[in-house]
Structure 1
Amino acid sequence: MEYINNIYSDAKSLSQTEKTILDELKKHDMSPANCIWGTSICSDEVNNSFLSLGTHFKAPGPFFFGGISGLPFTGKTGFAAFASHIPDDGGALILFGPHIGISADGTVGKVKREGQADITGCCGSLAAGLQTVESGSVPVEDHSDYQQTQVSKMLIEKHAELKEADDPIIEATEIAYTQIKRELNDIITNMKETLGDKKLLLAGGILINTDWQQEDYFELRDVIEF
């Protein structure tokens, strides 16, 4: 926990975060029992630690907007589908953000996964994007690896910030957060008519993964009502 709070001072355990999110819904006059939920978080299986939140919601979930790195690759079509699933008299929540590993020994950008003796990269997609930036190579459009191409492009555009960063993986995580938030805002704003009079709460932050036997953490950054 000390290693985490040295970097993410407002991070709270997922069990605490769950309570915070439920409280936020209540503040906005929304009941999870009458809402569906979605996520725009990296598809890495370590992020399934958030799935317990689904027990509070109306229907099976979440709806997955995010691909690798958490960018909302489902786009407008995905959002329109999600909006069409909202209960007639209910609302929706989208939880978003990138993830970063911090292992028990304080190694940033890595965690020990269940069944493995050594720590491995987390988020692997952002780490791969950083390697592209460091090599100076230009991503080539590849339909077999489309999502990673977009992640690498996102980071290459921020080459100067990454070059000056004390810890590039932390900076890459911040860049990803800003990009995910921007893209979701754009998608929702452009597709707002699909919501009708139903409320949508967008809750964003940084998901901090820990070694598999420990509870993960989340630093809530933004709560936006549409």
Structure 2
Amino acid sequence: MTSFDPHSTRLSANVSADSNGACPHCHQPIKQRESAGDFQTTLDKLFPNAYGLEEFVFETKQTLVPKGFYPHVNTLVCVGLCRDEITSPFEEEIEAMWGQAFICGSLGGMLFCGKTGFFAAHHHAPSNGFFIYYCFTHIAIDHEGNVGAVYRTRSGMNEKTTACGALAAFTSEIASNKLNLTFNEDDIEMSMLKKHIVRKTNLSTDPTKAPNLFEVTMAAYETITMDLERHVKRDAEEFKDRQYALFTGVQIHGPNGSDHCWLGKASLLIKGEFSPLVLSANPTSQVQTGASTKSH
């Protein structure tokens, strides 16, 4: 008998192994470790006040509707997530709430659609239109609290994989002193990801002070936020009657196909001025409320 609660996405650290010593949910061997290393503890430590996806998207709607952003009526939503298929529950929640989205994300959630991509999106709404941007990088935390580890059971894989794979590869290059910042036409997004994050942030590329995956992920979040604000600000200078809501942060893939998101920054841009945007409610439960139950 395990301590797994079917109404929660948390897998307790004292979950019992089956007769073969494997986790009954992911079928992987269970390591004997302290309970402080479980998913919930790691989530709370690295991403305090994380939301379930459904809860987060709902709260953004509750916050924005009183400000004139109406789903399926006057608002264009733009989504920037990693190409990884396990980010799709986030996009699905957003589109279910706001309608079809303009997709502007690349590997790691980077916004490499650039000026042309944003120009296209901004011409899909009137000069006095409303825009919402959800631009998030991503990371995984498994039931043992291992950062970067995720099971993709939906594709038939039983072994652990990595998320974000691109950011993990970047992290590994730095640690192994093999970082290559040369532009590669056969690997455009990955070569740009590394070069852009290094140029935009204070991320260490010294292998003796190599960042971990969490630190690289946060550098990606910072870069995405800066890029988004720059592109949107440019549009606002031309279309002064438009209103923009910007949300950036980190999507977190948890055990049993659960998904959460950490909101790093939320802001409104009206008449060329940014102002903080506070959601109508804080997350009521980082694990139980609104988390996706779809398997990866």
Fold equivalence (TM over 0.5): yes
- Match for 1:183: what amino acid? D
2:254 corresponding residue in structure 1: 210
The 2-side partners of 1:162 and 1:184 are apart by 30
The within-5 A match list for 1:60-139 is 60=100, 62-86=101-125, 90-113=129-152, 114=154, 115-137=156-178, 138-139=180-181
The one-letter code sitting in structure 2 at the alignment partner of 1:219 is W
SS in 1 for 2:230: helix
Pick closer, same or farther for the CA change 1:154–1:88 going to 2, 3 Å: closer
Q: CA deviation at 1:144?
A: 1.2
Deviations 1:26-55 (A, max 9, x none): 243311232121112211111001112212
Instruction: Structure 2: state its 5+ residue gaps.
Output: 1-9, 11-39, 270-296
Q: Structure 1 residue 147 and structure 2 residue 189: aligned?
A: yes
Q: Which residue number in structure 2 is paired with residue 47 of structure 1?
A: 87
Amino acid at match of 1:222: K
Mark the CA change 1:181 to 1:152 in structure 2 (over 3 Å): closer, same or farther. Answer: same
Counterparts of 2:71 and 2:183 in 1: how far apart (Å)?
Answer: 40
> Structure 1 CA distance, aligned partners of 2:139 and 2:207?
16
How big is the shift at 1:10? 0.9
**Rounded Cα–Cα distance in structure 2 between residues aligned with 1:220 and 1:29:** 22
- Which of structure 1's runs of 4+ aligned residues deviate more than 6 A? none
1-side partners of 2:173 and 2:49: how far apart? Answer: 31
SS in 1 for 2:187: helix
Amino acid at match of 1:56: M
TM-score normalised by length of structure 1: 0.88
Q: 1:163 to 1:42 in 2, by over 3 A?
A: farther
TM-score under structure 2 length normalisation: 0.69
Pairwise CA distance, 1:135: 2.8
Q: CA deviation at 1:141?
A: 1.5
Identity rate, percent:
24
* CA displacement at 1:89 relative to structure 2: 6.1
Secondary structure at 1:39 match in 2: strand
- How many residue pairs align between the two structures? 222
**How many angstroms apart in 2 are the aligned matches of 1:196 and 1:161?**
44
What's the CA shift string for 1:112-147, capped at 9, x where partnerless?
012210110100010111122123233321111011
Match of 1:37 in 2: 77
Structure 1 residue 151: Cα displacement: 1.8
Aligned Cα RMSD in Å? 2.2
Match of 2:264 in 1: 221
CA displacement 1:149-208 (0-9 Å, x = unmatched): 12222455522688657x711101110010000111111222324545221111111110
